[in-house]
Each structure stands twice: as C-alpha cells, then as structure tokens.
Amino acid sequence: MDYLANLTKFGVNFGLSRIEELLSRLGNPHQFLKVAHIGGTNGKGSTTAMLANILQSAGYKVGTFTSPHLHSYCERFRINGEEIGGSRIAGLIADLLPHLEAMVSEGFEHPTEFEVSTALAFQYFYQENVDFLVLEVGMGGAVDSTNVIAPVLAVITNVSIDHTDYLGKSVREIAEVKSGIIKPGVPTVTAAAGEALAVITKTCRERGSPLTLVGRDITWKHQSSSLDGQRFSVQSRRYAYDNLWLPLIGRHQQINAVSAIAAAELLIDRGLPIDIGNVREGLAATRWPARLEILRREPFVLIDGAHNYECARSLRQALDDYFPGRKVILVIGMLADKERAKVVSELAPAARAVIVTRPDSPRAGNWRELAVEARRHAPEVYLAEEIEAALNKALSIAGPDELVCVTGSLYMVAEARELLLQ
C-alpha cells in the first residue's frame, strides 16, 4: 500500500500507451475477459453493483472493479461480493514490479497509481477465471485506463458537470469524453438526457452501436418507498417486472436499477439464461454504502457522497421525499475542484445549521470558503477542521427528531462513516 500511495505522485495522466504496454508484458489478461463497461458521471458504482448481483444470481462468477474505495483498498476488487485479500494484492503487486521497473528502464513513462490498479484488476480476474467482469470507468472514458478492453456492452449512466479540470467545461465536452467507451457494434445503454444524450446518440450511430435509452426503450413506475428501500415496476421490450424491491433509497437509484436491467437484457440477447427471478434477487441483494445510507435513527444520521451538483440535487430530493418537515443539521466538506457554491446553494437552505469541515485531501484547498457560501443560506454555520469534531458538534446540537446529514467529498464521508460505525 505504501508503494501504491507513492505512485500518486504521477497524478492523473490520461492516455492508454502506458497501460497497454504494461498489459502487453503481462500477456494481455484483459483480452480473455467478458466485460460490461460502466461509465457516466454519477451512479456508476450502484449500477455496477446491481448488474453484478443480477449476474451472480443467475449463477455466474462475477468480478467487479470499482473506485474509489471507502475504507479499504481491497473493496475495489470483488468476486461475487467478496473483497480480495491483502496478501493477494501484495502478491499481485510483487508480480507487477519487475515489469514496471523494466518499462521505466527502457524509457517508458511510469504508469500512474490508477493504471497499476487497473492492470492488477485484469490480472486478478483473469487468474480467477471469472465469467464476467463488471468494470467501472475511473474518470471520463476515452483515455481512461479501463478503456483498453473490448466489452460485450457499455453503460453510460448519465452526464453532468464534474472533473472539469480534466474532462471539459461543458456537458457536451464531457459527454464526448465519456462516449469514448462506446465501441463499434457493441450495444450501449444510457439514461443520459439533453445535450449529453445527443452526443451519445450521434456516437452510437457513427460506430454502429445499438442504443437502449432508459425512459424510452425501457420504462419504470414507482410503487412505494420507505426508509428501508423502494418498490417499483419495469416494462422492457422483453419482460414486465412487477414489485421489484431495492434496499437503496433515492429516486435516482430506480434509474440506476433500470439501467442495470437493460444491460442484463442485452446479455439475454447473447443467449445468457438470465430471468426475472435473477433480476429480482439481484436487486434485492444490492448494498452500496455511503449513498443515502442511514446509520442511526435517534437522531437520524444519513450519509451520502454528494460530491457534485447533480448528486446534491438527488440528495435534496431525497431529503424532501423521506424526511419532509424534519430539521436538518448539515455536515459538509468538499474538495476545491468541485462546484462548491452550487452544492451549498442546493443543500444549505434545507438546513437549520451547517457544520463545514475539511476533507483529508491535498485537494481540499481553502475549505473554509464553504462556510462563507453556507452563511448566505443557513442561520447557523460552524467550522470544525476535523471530521470527528464536526460529527460531535452535529450530534450535540441535534434534537431527537432532527436529521444529521453528512455529505460532500467521498474521502470525508468515508472517514465519517468509519467513526459513526465505531
């Protein structure tokens, strides 16, 4: 782990030449894997988990590679929900080291931390002979290191403004980058809308990729919801799914679920024996922590990694849906490269008090600026540099009928989750 952490000095360095060279030296393990490639701005992880669970329910051995992790690097690599062991990671990195050293000695750029993680994932899942790999894009798409694969299908959940330093300043520019995972002749699913959908549709047409559009080709209807989850029905060209249960809250999770179902049906088109029961069981087994997750009930403590404006809108909608009229104590910390002012303007008006804290990241920047924005919308604003102090403050001022909502950077939310579980 120290070795991997040291690789962060190479930063974010897009391009496929380094990962392709490293994988070539490993015997191109990725070429032997059946891969479902999941991209988009928000909802990638949830959709990955749902599709993987559906496939597992159908009897397949399913690998998932996701990022970032919450508490342990091992979370990124799972087979049928089980995390990789630390000793296995150590062994895989030991196998990679000679190849990395040889590349550098021969004049190649050193692969980045994420490129090494991606290569490690491909090697692990190849060695374990998984039936499928459900692979989450790291950032963007076109030149993300996961984009060396020839997938059996691609999913682009949605497109909104995020990572503007790397992907572009507009939805159109970002959609063009994310459309890089669309491959010639390979079917694509998307729940995108507006400008982003126009870009994705054009790319699919140019590359001969059959497009399934969530909301047009596969539709859903909300049935009921509670703090334990939600029920909904889905109508596709193939099946009518009634009374599906998803133990995740938030309207957006229904859209992610429908995207996963659409992807599963593309695999049925390839002859895979997946049925309605597998979909039902897979969704019902899905857990995705730190996304509208309730950790306590007296007072209610909700945590959610709402790290960009679209996430914040989904969180605000969930607060209105599930906790109407309940006073909110908001604990928030965000990285400097995010739309902090827009996120605060969405969430702070719903709060009785806001506690601004610092994410444990070099990208935190002037984290106190968030308090200046919060004071424009909320009557009480506090500063607490350490997340533990922020949580203690929130719990000390929250009444039994109030809600403590912890949100922002996933780094900060992960630390808060660990403290709350302890």
Domains of the chain, first to last: 2-284 (3.40.1190.10), 293-421 (3.90.190.20)
Mean pLDDT of the region 151-180: 86
Burial 383-406 (b: 16+ CB within 10 A, else e): bbeebeebbebbeeebeeebbbbb
Mean pLDDT of the region 353-374: 88
| Mean residue pLDDT across the chain | 94
* Sequence-separated contacts (24+) of 264-273 with Cβ below 8 Å: 264/51, 264/54, 264/55, 265/212, 265/218, 265/236, 265/237, 265/238, 265/239, 266/152, 266/153, 266/187, 266/189, 266/212, 267/36, 267/55, 267/152, 267/153, 268/238, 269/187, 270/152, 272/58, 273/58
Which has more confidence, 4 or 300? 300
Distance between CA atoms of residues 276 and 352, nearest Å: 45
Distance between CA atoms of residues 130 and 133, nearest Å: 7
* Residue 6 predicted with pLDDT over 90: no
Predicted confidence band at 393 (pLDDT cuts at 50, 70, 90)?
very high
Angle between the N-to-C axes of helices 251-269 and 44-57, in degrees from 0 to 180, rounded to the nearest 10:
50
3-state secondary structure of 194: helix
Query: Closest Cα to residue 22, out of 122, 132, 138?
Result: 122
* Residue 30 predicted with pLDDT over 90: yes
* Residue 12 predicted with pLDDT over 80: no
* Residue 163 predicted with pLDDT over 70: no
Q: What pLDDT is stored for residue 344 in this prediction?
A: 93
* Residue 251 predicted with pLDDT over 80: yes
From residue 259, give the alpha-carbon distance in Å to each of 98, 194, 275. Answer: 40, 17, 16
Which has more confidence, 364 or 103? 103
pTM beyond 0.75, yes or no: yes
Task: Please state the separation of Cα 263 from the chain's center in Å.
Answer: 17
* Residue 165 predicted with pLDDT over 80: no
Query: Closest Cα to residue 296, out of 370, 400, 195, 389?
Result: 400
Q: What pLDDT is stored for residue 166 in this prediction?
A: 60
Mean pLDDT of the region 313-337: 93
Mean pLDDT of the region 73-92: 97
* Residue 18 predicted with pLDDT over 90: yes
Distance between CA atoms of residues 356 and 344, nearest Å: 10
* Residue 164 predicted with pLDDT over 60: no
Predicted confidence band at 159 (pLDDT cuts at 50, 70, 90)?
very high
* Residue 169 predicted with pLDDT over 80: no
Q: What pLDDT is stored for residue 362 in this prediction?
A: 75
Q: What percent of the chain clears pLDDT 70, i.e. is strictly above it?
A: 98
pLDDT digits (tens, 9 = 90+) for 32-53: 999 999 999 999 999 999 999 9
3-state secondary structure of 284: helix
* Residue 321 predicted with pLDDT over 90: yes
